[in-house]
Structure 1
Amino acid sequence: MFRKPVLFVFVLLVWGKFLSAQIPNDSTRQSFDFTPNLYHGIDTSLRIINLYPFFSLHVDSSLSYQLQINKPLKNYYWYLRDAPVGLKIDKDNGLLTFKANKSLFMSGRLSYDKKYEVKIGVQNLSNPKELVDTSFTISFYSTDIVYPRVKPSVVSPVYIEEGNKLSFNVLCDNGNFPIERILVSSNISIGNFKLPKTCDDAFEWTPDYDFVSDKDSAGVKIVNLLFMGTTQFNFTDTARIKVIVKNALNFDIATKEYKNAVNNMNDWILRYKYTFLQIDKKLKSTKGVRSGFDITTATTTTTGTVMAATDPNKGVSKILPGVGVVAMPVKEAVAPQKTIEQNQATLLRANIKRLQYVLFDNKLNGDRDPDIAVKTETLKKELRQSQTQLAEVPTETAETMSEEQINKYFESPKVQRKYRLK
């Protein structure tokens, strides 16, 4: 019963022996030893063997982490550099500790979601060259929701006049996440402005002098400014500032108009003075001629009287008094009284003095006199009134005399006495 299986096994053994005899021996074949050849050396370089590169702590949590090195802790010194407030390390055993306190974050000494890079090192006290310097990062987070707020440095409403500059800073309370960008919007299109882009930037705007139109009620225009701050997670906070712009005077243009009015009045005053000078000279010439006739008449009359008393028989003594009487109509014909010119000279001098007083009384008080428009209109009104009063007086322009010569004549003591009010 077992003869066939035994025979089959025997045949297989014989056949295997035959095949092995047919394979030639390879003299180059090498034997391999798969036993691992491990080198167990001595670890001599100093290393921190369990330092994590990053720590993240909740604001209410604490940290206690034992750092280890690959050598005995004896005679080794641990230290930190650029560590945030509250992070400490035991210099003897390398125990890293931190106790978070919300007051540190509220005071601004620590910040949420900010990566603090801390330099850490360990050094052999016996061998200063044996040391390790490395670093790790620590950050803090809070699960309390503190919303960021946009806070302009002014309180609404803000009043401003045309031509004046409006400037204030746009501040932020960042909360859990800082405001990264600020957008500005207004209900009215404005120009000449500087927009803030981030927190603590300034908003600057100077409204033009024609910003407030005649159609605006009460001479003011209201501008509503919206400052929209956005975080990295698209949370938005908006601050509103109402700006009330008042209608104001353009002092540059008003000053030019005032100077033009002053120059125009000075020109007319100079023209009036020169006209007064010419009339006064004519009056002086007429007075000289009439005085000559009066002296001649008085002389002939007196001479005739004297001669009649000394020699009554001579006819000359009877003729001379008649000559004086005949000279009177000749005087009136040659040099009549200049009543009209006298009145004109008096009126001119009175108007000149009045215009000079008006100029003095309407001087500007500083560079931005609030009454500049009223004073300019007063100068124009007074000049028009003088021109109306002196419309019948033929004025002349000084061509042969300087302004200094005319003023010297007008203010001379002789002229002052002649036209002094009695």
Structure 2
Amino acid sequence: MDMQQVKKQKLDHHGDQILDASQCHGNIPKVDAILPGAYGESDASGNPNSKARCESSFCSQISVSNDLCQRNSADDKAASTSENQKQKQGANESRDGPTSTNEIQAETAKNEGAANDETTPGNEKNVCPSETSPATKLSDSTTTAKLEPLPEPKYENSYAEKLLGIEDELCQSLNHLFFYEPVTHVYNPLIYASETHSQFVRKYCKSTKPILFLGMNPGPYGMAQNGVPFGEVTVTQDWLGISGKVGKPFRENPKRPILGFDCTQSEVSGRRFWGFFKNLCKSPETFFKYCYVHNYCPLVFMAVSGKNITPPTIPMIQRMPLMSICDTALCEVIQLLKVKVVVAIGRFVQDRVTHALKDQGIEGVRIEFLMHPSPINAKANKCWDEFAMKQLAESNVLQYIAPTAATKEENEEAK
């Protein structure tokens, strides 16, 4: 077989068998060899091949031991039950419609011009145009002006299991993607950190969530290490109460090792994000009563040097299919959790959620902007907490997280 034929083959073959998502929960066989040229390695002739296989595949994490990569049998039964319920009930959840026209117009006018310019985390020399363009928002007809408090939810894990099911399908779809230079390594913490990620979802996603904080993708020292969005190690353990075993990606970049909770490098974005809400809410339960935190894309991209590569800086020809898949999954999450307000963390995310909702014809969801806390963002390095407080107050979100702080902010503005 010549190299052209080899390159056309998919890398998820195990002998003559193609592994599918369902096998992640069972015994995962080990593959003795990888096709020549895969993952940027040299082919049979010794020539380097820049093609990097997307490791979001369930089957690509074969080197992780079964007790790390798979969920236990109880989880399998719960997931199976969730799937049956999903088939009976349908994929779409009902949601509240817009309020009166006057309220909508007032809320829209209030938020015009509130967005700040920002540099997206990643390669600052190759910034996606959407990152520096003016903020985009949905039309007035899709805007809701007010959130109504929800009753205290009962302990119900069906939302968590359905969310995990959406993520499983997302990973299966991402399995078909290939990435080329500058991307040489792709990590998927939903796979190798499935134990801690599932723990986070089941602990904090027990009900509908009218407010969704949406990040871009895992940071190299945060979610990449433990599976928790913005998961700075210390705050993840001490405040969120998440701990457990973390495995290894199938092909690890030695310059970006996965150490789990033994990672000593602090994720600045995560420390700022969760530190802000820790000071504001005091307890995770207060924050998660109405809110949830999710990432638009679950994958971590990096160059051979170990440099972090963000989705906006991936070449368009590779980025388009990635965004199409992530857009679909995002809309499913929004519908499942009956989200009324998406707080987009960064311009790229704001652009993607706006496009996704319009493309899917989903109405009744308001999009608000929150400056990204990344250290690459010069404004965030000065006083991100102050920017966050102001933006959340102006968007009418702060009152559902910390009513006292919202009242104080309004009083100061009145003065």
Structure showing greater Rg = 1
TM-score band, normalised by the shorter chain?
under 0.3
TM-score normalised by L of structure 1: 0.19
Question: Higher relative contact order by CA 8 Å / sep ≥ 6: 1 or 2?
Answer: 2
- Structure with more strand by fraction: 1
TM-score normalised by L of structure 2: 0.19
